[in-house]
Structure 1
């Protein structure tokens, strides 16, 4: 079977991560092009990761003729490229968040549905071995329902210039904590309300930095279940500390990351299982998209899932702005 021609839009750090993953699937993908705004930087990027360098998106589509396009531009910079590629029959992997507002997200979904292409959203935590093992246990009825999810995301970096501006990144809740919000949906389903607080406590004197650097979010269900998330961008420099715990009726999970966890069944007897997986979730999500294309099925995380998680992240940010609890409408 011929390889899928793969192109990248957005030659930054996360784009490099995706193409490094694609290089680990040489029988599945052929990297044919990279598109960025700066000619020199794009050429240097392509020299490392493969494919031809382009600074014009239409030129990329015309000359490279990709089967699959990875959209790894910052969310503010997505101005119809995904929709254009879909209309030309190109399958998509779009980095999270899919957009900064639900209207834009819905336009992408509508374009993909109209074109009949496969499109995935990059919530790669779902592909981790520890996450998958818990989901298998839950599906087998071993854990019972989850009553509490407690997650945290802590770092300390200035990141890219666009990241520090809420209008461009959406802030830490939309850009980073959204991964944990997605896991809340995976482990517990759709909540009924959200309350949040957020502040910029430590970067007030940093030029062009107006996003939150501390936040706390509480999702609630009318039946009493809870999910709590806390985050900061003032923790240990050079470290991205992400962890979460789930407490279920008959099981508890302590996750160090997507691959590593201690999963304990607490009834009818206590049985502890340690998961130390090695799956690269970036590789796994690309492999899933390729399989979806060839088997003519939906990818594991279609754009509608990305939009549903975005809806919760936007609601959390709105609750923080309003400093009050917000009821959630489950329609995307």
Structure 2
């Protein structure tokens, strides 16, 4: 079988730490092009991988005609770039949030369908071993119904993660559109939808800028009710200066499950009958300690085997909608119906 020819659009931190190394280690992939407006960044990876460098993605699509692309650019560019690529007959893996409006997300799904290409969204929380294990335990029925939950994603902010530090696009509203909610909150709305196999029906939220020198949100605290009646909280923060929190706790009929709360025992199940099970299943990736995301391999698998991507455009759209409704709740001071 000939290799899948992949181009990476945007050569910032997510490409550096996740996409590029994971494509490079996938035996079915040939990296053929890198795109970045700062051409030196693209050239660096092109030299490393025997590929071509471009400052402009449209020129790249026309000249290289890749089989697939990763769209790892500022949030506001996700939709236009993904749609252009799909219209060129190219499979698309887009970073989260997949778009900045529901209309954009719908247009991306439509473009992929019309051109018969795959669209996958980089919601990597689903692939992390502790989350995979937790979903298996939930599905086993041992804990019974999930009654309430809290899920949180906080770290010191993109000033520490982004290749451009404090001058990153993450802090510029025209490019980012949203801050911590688009960066971290959408990970958690996707996780809770997937893990509970449920949809968010209502949300209330405080979303604001507490501390960073930016006009995008750096913190959000949200109250969610799921379709099943389960309720809980979702927190996203760029001001956890004393360290990252990427944990989820599920309080269920028969006990509690703690995910990512302990450095060694990533999943802890404490049943009401006194039994405690601890699972060492591998860490959740952090900015300081990168683990393989699983996203790239899943994307390539879906192309090679012509199967539905593990995180579809519809998934990305539903997870984004939760975040957009949180902003609406902040603006109106009301509970917002999501679905």
TM-score (norm 2): 0.87
Aligned to 1:182: 190
Q: What is the Cα deviation at residue 236 of structure 1?
A: 1.5
Paired residues for 1:209-224 under 5 Å: 209-221=214-226, 224=229
Q: What is the Cα deviation at residue 221 of structure 1?
A: 3.7
Q: Structure 1 residues 252, 103: CA separation in 2 closer, same or farther (over 3 Å shift)?
A: same
Q: What is the Cα deviation at residue 5 of structure 1?
A: 0.9
**Native 8 Å contact 1:112 1:119 kept in 2:** yes
**Native 8 Å contact 2:130 2:283 kept in 1:** no
Tell me the alpha carbon deviations over residues 84-130 of structure 1, each in whole angstroms, 9 at most, x when there is no partner.
22122211110000110011111110000111111110001101111
Tell me the alpha carbon deviations over residues 222-275 of structure 1, each in whole angstroms, 9 at most, x when there is no partner.
7642120223322316x4332221122234221228996223152666241313
Structure 1 regions of 5+ residues with no counterpart?
Answer: none
Aligned to 2:163: none
Aligned to 1:233: 238
- Cα separation, 1, equivalents of 2:30 and 2:60: 15
Paired residues for 1:1-332 under 5 Å: 1-16=1-16, 17-25=18-26, 27-48=27-48, 51-78=51-78, 80-157=80-157, 158=159, 159-169=166-176, 170-188=178-196, 189-203=198-212, 206=213, 209-221=214-226, 224-236=229-241, 239-256=243-260, 261-264=266-269, 266=271, 270-277=275-282, 282-328=292-338, 330=339
Tell me the alpha carbon deviations over residues 108-154 of structure 1, each in whole angstroms, 9 at most, x when there is no partner.
10000111111110001101111111222222322322222212222
**Native 8 Å contact 2:204 2:222 kept in 1:** yes
Q: Structure 1 residues 255, 11: CA separation in 2 closer, same or farther (over 3 Å shift)?
A: same
Give the alignment's Cα RMSD to 1 decimal. Answer: 2.4
Q: Structure 1 residues 260, 70: CA separation in 2 closer, same or farther (over 3 Å shift)?
A: farther
Q: Structure 1 residues 125, 221: CA separation in 2 closer, same or farther (over 3 Å shift)?
A: closer
Q: Which moved more, 1:212-221 or 1:37-46?
A: 37-46
Q: What is the Cα deviation at residue 50 of structure 1?
A: 5.2
**Native 8 Å contact 2:154 2:184 kept in 1:** no
- Cα separation, 1, equivalents of 2:292 and 2:107: 25
Q: Structure 1 residues 241, 35: CA separation in 2 closer, same or farther (over 3 Å shift)?
A: same
- Cα separation, 2, equivalents of 1:136 and 1:66: 37
**Native 8 Å contact 1:244 1:255 kept in 2:** yes
Q: Which moved more, 1:165-174 or 1:115-124?
A: 165-174
Secondary structure of residue in 2 paired with 1:318: helix
- Cα separation, 2, equivalents of 1:50 and 1:196: 48
Q: What is the Cα deviation at residue 79 of structure 1?
A: 5.6
- Cα separation, 1, equivalents of 2:118 and 2:280: 31
Q: Which moved more, 1:180-189 or 1:301-310?
A: 180-189
- Cα separation, 2, equivalents of 1:62 and 1:79: 18
The aligned length equals 323
Q: What is the Cα deviation at residue 15 of structure 1?
A: 1.7
**Native 8 Å contact 2:92 2:120 kept in 1:** yes
Structure 2 regions of 5+ residues with no counterpart?
Answer: 160-165, 286-290
Secondary structure of residue in 2 paired with 1:192: strand
Q: Structure 1 residues 7, 326: CA separation in 2 closer, same or farther (over 3 Å shift)?
A: same
- Cα separation, 2, equivalents of 1:107 and 1:38: 28
Q: Structure 1 residues 56, 306: CA separation in 2 closer, same or farther (over 3 Å shift)?
A: same
TM-score (norm 1): 0.88
- Cα separation, 1, equivalents of 2:68 and 2:167: 26
- Cα separation, 2, equivalents of 1:254 and 1:49: 41
